C-alpha cells in the first residue's frame, strides 16, 4: 500500500541530551524503555532550550518506592509479591497515575510510565503531576479473593505514600474499578478520622456508587476519538467511512472501536494476546466486546471474522491503526509491515525508536500517546474534583469538558509543531516541557 508523506510525521534526527543521561548514569541499553522515554523528552527539552537544571530534574523521578509484601492464598499458603510506586514530578500538583498488575511490571518500566504521565498532565494543563505503580503478578492465576487481599495488602504497605492531596492512583492494565474500590476502602480504614470524609478521593476510576465519575470507563478511548477529531482533517481523513484496526481489545481499544464505529468508521482487523481476526466487510465492535468478555478477554475464535496470523494483521490495509495494548509493540519489522496512513497511539509508548524511525521514513503519521492517551487522566481529574467537592457531574458535562481540554491540548501540539518544524511526538513533549518550565520559573527550585 503506497503511503504519501505527511506533515504530521516529520523526521526527528537530533540527538537527545546525551550529557544529561551520562551525568545521571543512565542504563546504556538502547532497548531500556526508561532510557528511550527520557531521550525523547530531553530532545524536546533541548529544542525549546529548557534550562539544564530542568532537564536534570525531569530525567529522574523524585521518589522510587519498592515494596515486598506477603499475601495469603486460598489454600492457606503465602506468596511474596513485589510492588512499586514511582512519583516522577509534582511541580504542577499532586502525583497522579495508574496502578498496573502485570507479570512484566518492573522499576524502569514504571519510571517510564510515570515520566509520560508528567508529560500528559502538563500538556493538558491539569494541576497534577506524574506517577505510576503496580505489582508484578499475573492476575489470571489469582482468585477474586486473592486479588482483593493482594490489593488491600499492597495499599496498606504504601501507607501515606498515597493520599488525596499527595498521590492519587487510578486503574491501568490488570486493574479496574473493583480494584480501585478496594484500594480506596483500605486507605479509608487505615488512615483514621482525618480522611474519612474525602478518603475516596485517594484513587480515581472507582465504581459509580463509590464516588466514581460518569464517563471514566470510556475516558481514554473517548479522548483518543476527540484527538482524532482535531487531527484527522490534516490527513484528509474523517471518521465516517474510514477503515481502522486495533491492537489490544481491552478498555482503551474496545471503547475507541465502539466510539469510532458509532461515527461511521469500519473496524476490519483486531489483534490481541489471544490472536488476530479480520473481516474486510467490518467487525461489529459492540458484539466483539461481548464475545471477548465471555472468552477470557480474547478475540480469537470470534465467529464473524477469519483467523489470521500476526503479519497478516499488520499488512491489512486500513486508514488508521490504533495500538492500544502494551508498550513497545511496534518494532522496526512491524512498522515495515503496517499498511496504514496514520497511527493513533492509545497505549503508552507502543512503538520502539526503530519503529518510529521506520514509520517516519515511510511517511506514516503518528499521533502520539501523550495527546491521544490523556483522556483517562483528564476524567480522573474530574472524578477527583467531584469527590473533593461532594458533587456528581452528568456525563454530558464530563464529555464536553474532556473535548475542550483535548481540543486545547491538540492546538498546543499543532502550534509547537509549526514553531519547531518537528514531528507531533516531539511537539507534544516540547509543549509539556514549556508548561513545566513556566511553573518552575514562578516557584523556583527549593531551597
How far is it, in rounded angstroms, from Cα 118 to Cα 440? 14
Q: 81: which residues sit within 8 A by CB, 6+ positions away?
A: 68, 69, 70, 71, 135, 136, 137, 150, 154
Active-site annotation holder among 111, 120, 132, 206: 132
Question: Residues 20, 55: contact at Cβ < 8 Å?
Answer: yes
Bridge partners for 133 per DSSP: 85, 99
How far is it, in rounded angstroms, from Cα 225 to Cα 216? 14
Per the rule left: phi > 0, alpha: psi between -120 and 50, beta: everything else, 51 is beta
* Angle in degrees, CA 250, 252, 255, rounded to 5: 95
Residue 402 dihedral angles phi and psi, to the nearest 5°: -65, -45
Has 132 been annotated as catalytic?
yes
What single-letter DSSP state applies at residue 170?
E
User: Strand, helix or coil at 92?
Assistant: coil
Cell of 382: 474530574
> Strand locations in 165-282, DSSP E?
167-171, 243-247, 266-272, 275-278
Bridge partners for 267 per DSSP: 244
Question: Residues 45, 55: contact at Cβ < 8 Å?
Answer: yes
Cell of 178: 473493583
Taking Cα atoms as reference points, which of 380, 420, 441 lies closest to residue 124? 380
How far is it, in rounded angstroms, from Cα 445 to Cα 175? 36
In angstroms and rounded to an integer, the radius of gyration of the C-alpha atoms of the chain is 21
Annotated catalytic residues are 132
Amino acid at each position: 500500500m503506497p503511503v504519501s508523506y505527511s506533515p504530521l510525521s516529520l523526521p526527528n534526527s537530533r540527538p537527545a541530551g546525551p550529557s544529561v543521561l551520562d551525568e545521571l548514569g543512565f542504563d546504556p541499553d538502547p532497548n531500556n524503555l526508561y532510557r528511550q522515554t527520557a531521550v525523547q523528552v530531553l530532545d524536546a527539552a533541548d529544542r525549546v532550550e529548557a534550562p539544564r537544571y530542568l532537564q536534570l530534574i525531569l530525567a529522574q523521578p523524585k521518589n522510587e518506592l519498592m515494596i515486598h509484601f506477603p499475601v495469603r492464598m486460598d489454600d492457606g499458603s503465602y506468596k511474596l509479591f513485589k510492588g512499586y510506586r514511582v512519583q516522577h514530578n509534582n511541580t504542577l500538583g499532586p502525583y497522579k497515575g495508574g496502578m498496573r498488575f502485570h507479570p512484566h511490571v518492573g522499576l524502569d518500566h514504571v519510571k517510564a510510565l510515570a515520566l509520560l504521565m508528567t508529560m500528559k498532565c502538563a500538556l493538558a494543563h491539569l494541576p497534577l503531576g506524574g506517577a505510576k505503580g503496580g505489582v508484578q503478578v499475573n492476575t489470571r492465576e489469582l482468585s477474586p479473593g486473592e486479588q482483593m487481599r493482594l490489593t488491600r495488602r499492597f495499599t496498606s504497605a504504601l501507607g501515606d505514600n498515597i493520599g488525596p492531596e499527595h498521590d492519587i492512583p487510578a486503574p491501568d492494565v490488570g486493574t479496574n474499578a473493583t480494584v480501585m474500590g478496594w484500594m480506596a476502602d483500605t486507605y479509608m480504614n487505615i488512615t483514621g478520622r482525618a480522611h474519612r470524609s474525602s478518603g475516596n478521593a485517594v484513587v480515581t476510576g472507582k465504581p459509580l456508587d463509590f464516588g466514581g465519575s460518569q464517563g471514566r470507563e470510556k475516558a481514554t478511548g473517548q479522548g483518543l476519538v476527540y484527538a482524532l477529531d482535531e487531527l484527522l482533517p490534516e490527513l484528509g481523513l474523517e471518521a465516517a467511512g474510514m477503515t481502522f484496526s486495533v491492537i489490544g481489545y481491552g478498555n482503551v481499544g474496545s471503547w475507541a472501536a465502539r466510539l469510532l464505529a458509532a461515527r461511521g468508521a469500519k473496524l476490519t482487523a483486531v489483534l490481541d494476546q489471544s490472536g488476530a481476526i479480520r473481516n474486510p466487510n467490518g467487525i461489529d465492535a459492540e458484539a466483539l466486546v461481548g464475545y471477548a468478555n465471555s472468552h477470557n478477554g480474547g478475540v480469537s475464535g470470534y465467529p464473524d471474522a477469519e483467523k489470521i496470523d500476526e503479519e497478516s494483521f499488520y499488512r491489512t490495509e486500513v486508514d488508521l491503526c490504533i495500538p492500544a495494548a502494551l508498550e513497545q509493540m511496534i518494532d522496526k519489522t512491524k512498522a515495515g509491515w503496517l499498511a496504514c496512513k496514520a497511527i493513533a497511539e492509545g497505549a503508552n509508548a507502543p512503538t520502539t525508536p526503530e519503529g518510529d524511525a521506520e514509520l517516519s521514513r515511510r511517511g506514516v503519521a503518528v499521533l502520539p500517546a501523550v495527546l491521544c492517551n490523556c483522556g483517562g487522566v483528564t476524567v480522573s481529574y474530574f472524578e477527583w474534583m467531584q469527590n473533593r467537592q461532594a458533587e456528581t457531574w452528568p456525563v454530558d458535562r464530563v464529555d464536553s469538558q474532556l473535548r475542550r481540554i483535548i481540543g486545547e491540548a491538540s492546538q498546543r501540539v499543532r502550534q509547537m509543531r509549526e514553531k519547531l518544524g518537528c514531528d507531533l511526538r516531539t511537539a507534544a513533549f516540547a509543549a509539556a516541557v514549556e508548561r513545566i518550565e513556566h511553573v518552575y520559573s514562578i516557584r523556583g527550585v527549593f531551597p
